[in-house]
Amino acid sequence: MAIQDIYPTALRLLGRPVLVVGGGPVAARRAKGLLDAGAKVTVVAPIASEKLRGLVDSGLLAWEQREYRTEDLDGVWFVQTATGTPAVDTQVANDAEAQRIWCVNASDHESSAAWTPAVAVVDDVKIAINAGGDPRRAMALRDAVATALETGGLPLRRHRKPGANGSVALIGGGPGDSGLITVRGRRLLGQADVVVADRLGPRGLLAELAPDVRVIEVGKTPGHHPVPQLEINRILVEEALKGNRVVRLKGGDPYVLGRGGEEAEFCRQNGVEVEVVSGVTSAISVPAAAGIPVTHRGLAKGFSVVTGHEELSEVPARPDHTVVLLMGVAQLRESAAALAGSGLPLDTPVGIVENGYLPEQRVTIGTLETIADQAEAVGVANPAVIVIGDVVRVSPFAPQHFKTADYSTITPNRPRVRTN
């Protein structure tokens, strides 16, 4: 049978009787697929595999423990052969042909009246692929298409909207690089009707949206909030109640100093379904972009994440406890003084990473005593993450005199041996 002879379609088998002839692993897989489609499945076979017996014991299908008979086709809408014996499969296929019943002949795909495609399900989309009678080829193509759908490479967005309310997804987009959003986040973004976007999210992904997807800009800058938080909350609920799938695309993680908890609570209070998709928080990822771990064996076992607008008196004032400041550029001098006043040594290393992972990334490294002057001299600006603690010594951007030890995991803090 040539590929041109096939007319692709989908059978709706809910409540309809179907027949599977054979009791081995292939028959079990085909029976399971037919059950998933809602069919009333009868299996005819002298012997049944363990998986098939499990379906029988669960009451999901009927099993006739005997050889096939022509009258087994009476009243059947669809037939699948899987006996492993070509003569038996051919007899079943010929009987089905005579009664004008569609039959998949597992022993001879060339003469089979129907083919079973390679199938994958992503959300409510079912992918079925035939590949010229080559099942391995079909499975490879199916897996590739399914992966593209799951990762947002292909559009899953609905164009026929149901009458019910829409939904909201709060997605952490990471520090700004388009490759650092999660697979789940990318997938939901590809299904969005409306995107409520922050300034620091993965902006490059917005250009990939369909032309009719509405983007509502609500980005904030330090000291300038053109769209107040209460208005953002209202927009999310209003758009969802219109039946839209709304994505709130945020930078970092929505639950790390991102007010995502407030947005989720407001949605639930107003009867809107909400999903929270964690993101790569800038508190950890942006330091990593400059080669600074927030913990490191022999240097720091813990870390605190705060904003520069908060009191720092309760943060452990030790170089071996990393302090990560978010949104802290404007009050860097005050924050450094507060930490010094709490007992943190003035020679504690401090690193500032601006625009982490982006082409304009810049790293400034100094000490608690010098960092404010350095930042002013070079014009450090948000978005920036400030890291305070001995872990800054590990960065390849740190001055050579900071690297006073071997910070490997094998021999932590062993003094370096100078060769010059």
Same domain? For 217 and 307 the reply is no
Same domain? For 36 and 109 the reply is yes
220 is catalytic: yes
Q: Is residue 181 part of a domain?
A: yes
198 is catalytic: yes
* Predicted model pTM: 0.66
pLDDT at 420: 38
Q: How far apart are CA 158 and CA 179, in angstroms?
A: 24
Domain count, the chain: 4
Domain range for 34 is 3-116
* Active-site pick, 193, 198, 253, 390: 198
Same domain? For 272 and 321 the reply is no
Q: Is residue 157 part of a domain?
A: no
Edge-to-edge strand list for the sheet holding 302-307: 302-307, 321-326, 384-388, 349-354, 362-367
* Active-site pick, 40, 51, 220, 403: 220
Q: Is residue 199 part of a domain?
A: yes
Same domain? For 268 and 208 the reply is yes
Q: Is residue 342 part of a domain?
A: yes
Same domain? For 297 and 406 the reply is yes
Under 8 Å between Cβ of 54 and 34 = no
Q: Is residue 161 part of a domain?
A: no
Q: Is residue 31 part of a domain?
A: yes
Instruction: Specify the DSSP element, H or E, that contains 150.
Output: helix 135-150
Same domain? For 14 and 46 the reply is yes
Q: Is residue 159 part of a domain?
A: no
Q: Per-residue pLDDT tens, the chain, 420 aa: give them.
A: 445 677 888 889 999 999 999 999 999 999 999 999 999 999 999 999 999 999 999 999 999 999 999 999 999 999 999 999 999 999 999 999 999 999 999 888 778 888 888 888 887 788 888 787 777 888 898 888 888 887 777 777 777 665 577 999 999 999 888 889 998 999 899 889 999 999 888 988 998 888 899 999 997 665 556 889 999 999 999 999 999 999 999 999 999 988 999 999 999 999 999 999 999 999 999 999 999 999 998 889 999 999 866 678 888 888 899 999 998 999 999 999 999 999 999 999 999 999 999 889 999 999 999 999 999 999 999 889 999 999 999 999 999 888 766 666 665 555 444 343
Q: What is the CATH number of the domain that holds 38?
A: 3.40.50.720
DSSP state of 193: S
